[in-house]
Each structure stands twice: as structure tokens, then as C-alpha cells.
């Protein structure tokens, strides 16, 4: 099976806002965080179940990757 990553508009807005907030104090840290989060998400097509199931939702297709103090939510659709 071939998977692909599709970003919602809100997810892209959230990532941009997080990076902009961090960049106010440290532009390099914001760049590193954004790149690292994107790198994690880029792994999803090859490893769609690498994140854990979201505990409070208990649905196998709703997953999350924890990165620092951030939760990256995603849905696996077959």
C-alpha cells in the first residue's frame, strides 16, 4: 500500500504560527524546530503507524507524534 501525507490548511497555519512565535526570540531555533517537525511528518508515508494512538480518542487510525512539547496529530486512511 502506498501512503501520502496531506496537510490540512489549519495544520500549516499552526506550524507557521509556532515557528513565528519562537522566531521572535531565536530565529535559528524556530528554523530547527520547523525542519525537525517536517522531517518527522515526511516519514509518515513509509511508516504510517509510527506514532502512537491518541490516548484520549482510542481510535487506531488517529495517531500522534510527540515532538518536544508539541503533539502532531494525523489520521491514517486506507
What confidence tens digit (pLDDT) does each residue in 12-61 have? 999 999 999 999 999 999 999 999 999 999 999 999 999 999 999 999 99
> Looking at residue 26, what is its pLDDT?
98
Which pLDDT score is estimated for 1? 79
Sheet of 70-75, strands arranged across: 52-53, 62-67, 70-75
**What is the per-residue pLDDT for 30?**
97
Bridge partners of 10, per DSSP, are: none
User: What is the architecture, at CATH level 2, of domain 9-75?
Assistant: 2-Layer Sandwich (3.30)
Amino acid at each position: 500500500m502506498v501512503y501520502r501525507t496531506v496537510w490540512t490548511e489549519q495544520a500549516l497555519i499552526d506550524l507557521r504560527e509556532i515557528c513565528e512565535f519562537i522566531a521572535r526570540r531565536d530565529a535559528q531555533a524556530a528554523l530547527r524546530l520547523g525542519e525537525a517537525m517536517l522531517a518527522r511528518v515526511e516519514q509518515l508515508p513509509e511508516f504510517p503507524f509510527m506514532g502512537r494512538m491518541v490516548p484520549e480518542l482510542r481510535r487506531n487510525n488517529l495517531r500522534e507524534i510527540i515532538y518536544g512539547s508539541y503533539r502532531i496529530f494525523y489520521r491514517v486512511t486506507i
